[in-house]
Amino acid sequence: MLSFVNHLHAQHCPTYEFYRGEKVPCFEKVERYDYVIEALKANGHEVSFATSSANEVLAQVHSQRYLDFLSSAWSRWLALDTANASVQPFPSVWPIRSLRDDKEPDNFIAQLGLYSMDNGTPMVAGTWQAVKQGADCAASGASHLATTGRPSFVCSRPPGHHAGSDFMGGYCFLNNAAIAAQTLRNHGAAKVAILDVDFHHGNGTQSIFYERSDVFFISIHGSPTSEFPFYLGYADEIGQGEGKGFNLNLPLAAGASVETWFDALNTATQAIQQFAPEALVISLGVDTFIHDPISKFALDTPDYFKMGDCIASLKLPTMFVLEGGYAVDAVGENVVNVLNGFESFVSSNA
């Protein structure tokens, strides 16, 4: 499997975040990527830098107003005060409920709140460069799958599935899974499925495709009654308008067993089979790991091989996009186990 790697990811290197009200060292850190790359190379996986640009597809997934803000945010932050070079900006006000979000205020921190769903998504000098290169990797992986039929893996950080069309959050700025799916559509796939196996609901991906019938979004995740992102991910969210029936949430209670998780995966694969997509995108979060510091499922390292095997049994053109996973020293082995499980099934059924 060819892996498209984000060689600019380390330019996004914030030192702290706010996690449930506390200032803490970042869980989403540079080392996550390093361990995955190490495991990929140790297992003989081929790697490549981005071969395609996401420029065209970005505006199909994200609003132009948001892209303009994100791409210029750091230079504008510095323009306020050169001392801001050593300061991570965070929002302090948000346009919730009766407040307006159609007007962009002049104040930078107010703009940051306009385009943020939380205050746990820190930005630094190289954030735009890192996330844009991640988007290019997503477009490259999808183009590779579309033109060769061969599976791909997008190895990038920060993750993307919490980013909506016009907001950042949950460590995410650009939605790589959505960019991959839209790229596949642009290459001619009539229907694409996205399966999100991250512990946290892919609220951004859901919102981007919620009114569309050409992209079926399925997510297995911790129940939003107790787990981030809290305000989306319930089972009664099934899509809207043309997209009604093309969104499937499978929320599980915190602490759900391995057996319960794989039962949900079986439900998801049956729904994908019924949808009959021409391509499949996996939002591959491995924060379902039993020792993950901010998640509460029970999967262990061998279970990820089984996960890959189950996904491969769908026999669909498939690509994987790295999302979460914060037990840093185990991330690489768990990710590669999914990829190896997938390839083992393909090889044995060739």
DSSP assignment string, 243-280:
GTT-EEEEEE-TT--HHHHHHHHHHHHHHHHHH--SEE
Catalytic residue chosen out of the listed positions 161, 162, 200, 221? 162
The answer to whether the beta carbons of residues 247 and 276 sit under 8 Å apart is no
Query: Alpha-carbon distance 256 to 288, whole Å?
Result: 10
Tokens of 153: 């893996």
Q: Which amino acid is at 208?
A: I
Q: At what angle do helices 30-42 and 328-348 cross, to 10 degrees?
A: 40
3-state secondary structure of 3: strand
What's the gap between Cα 205 and its chain centre?
Answer: 8
Query: Alpha-carbon distance 326 to 58, whole Å?
Result: 27
Query: Alpha-carbon distance 51 to 60, whole Å?
Result: 19
Angle (nearest 5°) at CA 137 between 132 and 139: 95
Angle (nearest 5°) at CA 203 between 95 and 324: 115
Catalytic residue flag (residue 144): no
3-state secondary structure of 196: strand
Query: Alpha-carbon distance 130 to 9, whole Å?
Result: 5
Active site residues: 162
